[in-house]
Amino acid sequence: MLNFKKLRKKNIVLIGLMGSGKSAVGREIAKSLNFDFYDSDAEIEKRIGKSIKQIFQTKGEEFFRLLEEEICLELLENKNCVIALGGGSIINKRIRSLINLNSFSIYLKVDIEVLLNRLRNSNKRPLLSLGNKKIILEDIYNQRKNYYKKANLIIVNNTSKESVVKNIIKELS
């Protein structure tokens, strides 16, 4: 039986900084377990009809965070799903409480240098365009690390997606 079922959890959620591979890894885990897969950012984009970047630009971060709360709380009410949560959703107390209550959480831990490398050419992360990417990533990591570290499972994802997925499936068995 899956670990998370023993814990009476309904879903598996992936948390971690942007670029940590939550969506790519989450999609593979969902496939392996025959679960549905959701990505909170993709659901937000669908609901509003704008990209995350456009939402930040036209409505601001505060609006985005409210929407993020609404969508994440809805997604977390599902059953037998793998959910990749936007990196900043963990700062929201209501989202954290619902994760703790009903989901098995996996923190994908990635070194800042690796993240910087992966995100070097991405312009999809509005928070990183506000200044020096390294300083911003270090800063948000420091704000969030205590929440990330409370995950049920912590997996390092510095290298290949395949080995990480294998590791997670093994840990869940």
At closest approach, how far in Å is the CB of 172 from ligand S3P?
22
Rule CB under 6 A: choose which of 4, 12, 35, 125 binds ligand S3P.
Answer: 125
Q: Does 87 bind ligand S3P (CB under 6 A)?
A: yes
Smallest separation (angstroms) from ligand S3P to the CB of 88: 3
**Residue among 32, 31, 28, 30 at smallest CA distance from 11:** 30
Please choose, out of 92-100, 106-114, 123-131, 146-154, the segment that lies near ligand S3P by the rule CB under 6 A: 123-131
- Residue of this chain nearest to ligand S3P (CB atom): 88
Span between the terminal Cα atoms of the chain, in Å:
6
Query: Of 163, 76, 151, nearest to 109 (Cα)?
Result: 151
Chosen residue from 52, 71, 76, 137 binding ligand S3P by CB under 6 A: 52
Q: Is 127 in the site for ligand S3P (CB under 6 A)?
A: yes
Three-class secondary structure of residue 97 per DSSP: helix
Amino acid identity, position 41: D
Separation between Cα atoms, residue 72 and residue 43, nearest integer Å: 9
Q: Which two tokens stand for residue 120?
A: 């070097």
What residue ranges bind ligand S3P (CB under 6 A)? 18, 22, 41, 52, 86-88, 125-127, 140
